[in-house]
Structure 1
Amino acid sequence: MTDHALAVTKERAFSRRKLGTMREAGLIAIILTLCILMSFASPHFLTLGNFRAMLMSFSVEGIVVVGMTILLIVGGIDLSVGSVVCFSMVLSGSLFLMGVDPWSASLIGILASALIGCAMGFFVTVIGLNHFITSLAAMVIVRGICLIITKGTPLSLFTLPPSFKAVGQGTLYGIPYVILIFVAVVAIFDFLLRRATAFRKVFYTGSNEKAALYSGIKTNQVKFWVTVLCATLSGVAGVIYMSRFGAATPTFGVGMELNIIAAAVIGGASLSGGSGTILGAILGIALLSVVSSSLILLNVSVYWQDMIKGCILLTAVSIDHFLHKRKIA
């Protein structure tokens, strides 16, 4: 009975990944269609400068999307990613201003972000709280810590050494380091999620936690480490932002979780767990970036932009809910 349950779980995971591949193809078609339409609507859209700006804008967020996607696959969610990104910036920046070299300060900021993930993982796996309420509390607490550290005042970090600034501002053969780091993170975790045995447990846990548990998978450990991974990648993104902008603002990242979750869900990650791909999530954030750039070039009010993004998220969640109900039926 247990083997049969696991077999059913594996079959569902496989079918959802197949559905994800179809969704990825659909997203590529939508993105290309929007690009073609915008090429007629605005002469500034199909320019190297605009595409570079779009790539830079979603590359760092894309690193956070990778962690969020894996967490959604396991059946969790993290509303604190924007706060953790800000926390990593603020802590690293504060340590630098206190005399710590930027590389060591950044490492401490990333490790501290990982500890936040450990704390959330503890409350989820040991105390028994769900990811939503745990990460909601963490979002508020961590944002408060950012305000306490900075006293509500942005930190100016223009004295960062050029070697460190190069991470966020430098290029290699004309390609920004930010984009290269983003591509490397995506490639690594996409490969692991598709091929590594350890990451298959993420799909099995998200598809049917009880069946996975009865089959010998330590589901709490899987959920714990995936939560830590998401927070750690948020910390990495925070350090890159600090290097790119040369500043650390305590209000940075407010609302970032909306873009991150929307991108992952649009890309095929299910809020009920068990499905999703890194490529799909990246296509999701690429779509949102194209939409944002298009709205800006068309002089659409920023208030309408937020509403449109919200409608896109609602549509994606509705489609996911419909497909999940149809699959259960």
Structure 2
Amino acid sequence: MGLFVVRVGLSHFIASLAAMVIVRGLCLLITKGTPLSLFSLPPEFKFVGQGSLGGLPVVVLIFIVLAVVFDFLLRRSAKFRTIFYTGSNEKAAEYSGIRTKRVIFWVTVLCSTLTGLAGVIFMARFGSATPQFGVGMELNVIAAAVIGGASLKGGQGSIFGAVLGVALLSLVTSSLILLDVSVYMQDMIKGFILLAAVSFDHLMNKRGKRS
């Protein structure tokens, strides 16, 4: 994905979308669409997804640690700050001496690695490898990031904001379930939320350019 973005010049979104479709197809081909049981896995591996420390699930602890570490790095680390500079204005960042292509490549690698880690944790939590897991989740991820302050134009956003976006989206989903709203209607509402968030982001960027 990183090579296609950096060398070929594809957008991150298109490269990610294409990779998602290819990998999902590969998973279906290998498993023939059947979930694979992993109950014979070592207890230590299952503990990662099902265990708890001090009354707090290990999964939640991993999430908190990763969120805190990367939020700190994005705010304090000079290397990670180059991500914001590259995202806000790639040409200006390049003229400033930042190797933007390298930044884009390694950000892609990092995102893919964390996605793989999430898949491994899912297997440990549910004791199975489900080829259909995550279908439709990409919409929730984009919505949560945009609601949390990330800009689709780049250069804005924070880990803490994305966490708040996830919390808000989860609250909306839980509320819809409690209100006994149809599953099909829930997807429509989430779509409208995403559309509203992206529209707001676009209008704010447009106003910023005028200013």
- TM-score bracket, normalised by the shorter chain, equals over 0.9
Q: TM-score, normalized by length of structure 2?
A: 0.97
Aligned to 2:124: 243
Q: Among 112, 119, 122, which residue is 1:231 paired with?
A: 112
Corresponding residue of 1:159:
40
Give the Cα separation in 2 of the matches to 1:326 and 1:262: 21
Identity of aligned residues (%): 72
Tell whether 2:68 aligns with 1:187.
Answer: yes
Q: Tell me the CA shift for residue 127 of structure 1.
A: 1.6
Select which of 219, 226, 229 maps to 2:100.
219
- The correspondence for 2:148, drawn from 264, 267, 289, is 267
Shift of residue 299, structure 1, vs aligned partner: 1.2
User: How many Å separate the matches in 2 of 1:286 and 1:292?
Assistant: 10
- Taking the aligned partners of 1:204 and 1:255, their CA distance within structure 2 comes to 31
Matched AA of 1:314: L
Tell me whether 1:288 sits opposite 2:165 in the alignment.
Answer: no
Structure 2 unmatched ranges of 5 or more? none
TM-aligned CA deviation for residue 130 of structure 1? 1.7
**1:132 Cα shift?**
2.3
The alignment's C-alpha RMSD in Å is 0.8
> What is the CA distance between 1:257 and its match in structure 2?
0.6
Q: CA offsets, 1:110-150, max 9 Å, x none?
A: xxxxxxxxxx0001101222222222221111111101111
* 1:132 is aligned to 2:5: no
Q: CA deviation at 1:322?
A: 1.0
Greater Cα shift, 203-212 or 156-165: 156-165
Q: Secondary structure at the match of 1:152?
A: coil
Deviation string, structure 1 residues 175-220 (Cα, Å, up to 9, x no partner): 1001100000000000000000001111111111111101110000
Q: 1:318 — aligned with what?
A: 199
- 3-state DSSP of counterpart to 1:254: coil
Runs (4+) of structure 1 exceeding 3 A deviation are: none
- Aligned letter for 1:170? G
CA distance in 2, matches of 1:137, 1:278: 25
Structure 2 residue 77 is the aligned partner of structure 1 residue 196: yes
1:78 paired residue number: none
Relative to its length, the structure with more helix (as a share) is 1
Deviation at 1:288, TM superposition (A): 0.6
* d(CA) in 1 for partners of 2:100, 2:202: 24
Alignment of 1:300 onto 2:185: no
Shift of 1:161: 2.2
Q: 2:8 corresponds to which letter in structure 1?
A: I
Which residue of structure 1 aligns with residue 157 of structure 2?
Answer: 276
**TM-score where L is the length of structure 1:** 0.63
Give the length in aligned residue pairs: 210
Whole-angstrom CA distance in 2 between matches of 1:131 and 1:200: 19
Superposition deviation, residue 162 in structure 1: 1.9
Greater RCO, 1 or 2 (C-alpha within 8 Å, sep 6+): 1
Distance in structure 1 (CA, Å) of the matches to 2:16 and 2:67: 24
CA distance in 2, matches of 1:287, 1:130: 28
* 2:56 counterpart letter in structure 1: I
Q: Deviations over 1:277-318 (max 9, x none)?
A: 110000000001111111111211111111111111111111
Instruction: Report matched runs for 1:50-199 at 5 Å.
Output: 120-199=1-80
